[in-house]
């Protein structure tokens, strides 16, 4: 599916809320921002004037949408959209494959040590991610 053609956002116009709550985005006076009259979210217009970005979000990444003239489309998709799946692969599947592989190697000294190493590394990565995204 081709990417939608983005249009410039008029700072004096009203738009539907991209959050899907049937609200309207109205311009905030003397700013380059919009406020939703239904969900009370604030959206700022990026420098390209084709994308709005949601402020005051609790997610570790910002949500952004681009306007096509009739509706909003999510912008900046990529690894952020698949965060849960990639975290599952890193935390569960890779250590499981490592442990199975280590257990199948014959004549390996300290087999239990080699099986514990990926689990400890994954726990450290998970701790670092939690500390980085807890704000």
Query: Which string of DSSP letters, residue by residue, matches 35-97?
Result: EETTT--EEEE-TTSSEEEE-S--SSS--EEEE-SSSEEEES-SGGGGHHHHHHIIIIIHHHH
pLDDT in tens, 43-55: 998 887 788 888 8
The answer, yes or no, to whether residue 116 has pLDDT greater than 90, is no
Give one word for 24, left, alpha or beta, with left for phi > 0 and alpha for psi -120 to 50.
beta
Q: Does residue 66 or residue 101 have the better pLDDT?
A: 66
pLDDT value of position 3: 59
The pTM (predicted TM-score) of the whole model is 0.54
pLDDT value of position 79: 55
2 confidence band (pLDDT: 50, 70, 90): low
Task: Tell me the C-alpha distance between 52 and 43, whole Å.
Answer: 6
pLDDT value of position 127: 83
């Amino acid at each position: 599916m081709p990417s939608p053609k983005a249009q410039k956002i008029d700072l004096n116009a009203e738009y539907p809320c991209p959050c899907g709550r049937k609200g309207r985005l109205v311009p905030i006076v003397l700013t380059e921002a919009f406020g939703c009259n239904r969900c009370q979210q604030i959206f700022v217009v990026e420098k390209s004037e084709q994308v709005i970005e949601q402020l005051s979000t609790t997610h570790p990444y910002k949500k952004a949408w681009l306007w096509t003239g009739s509706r909003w489309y999510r912008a900046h998709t990529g690894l952020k959209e698949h965060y849960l799946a990639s975290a599952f692969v890193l935390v569960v599947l890779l250590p499981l494959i490592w442990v199975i592989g280590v257990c199948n190697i014959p004549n390996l000294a300290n087999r239990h040590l080699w099986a514990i190493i990926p689990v400890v590394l994954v726990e450290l990565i998970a701790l670092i991610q939690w500390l980085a995204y807890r704000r």
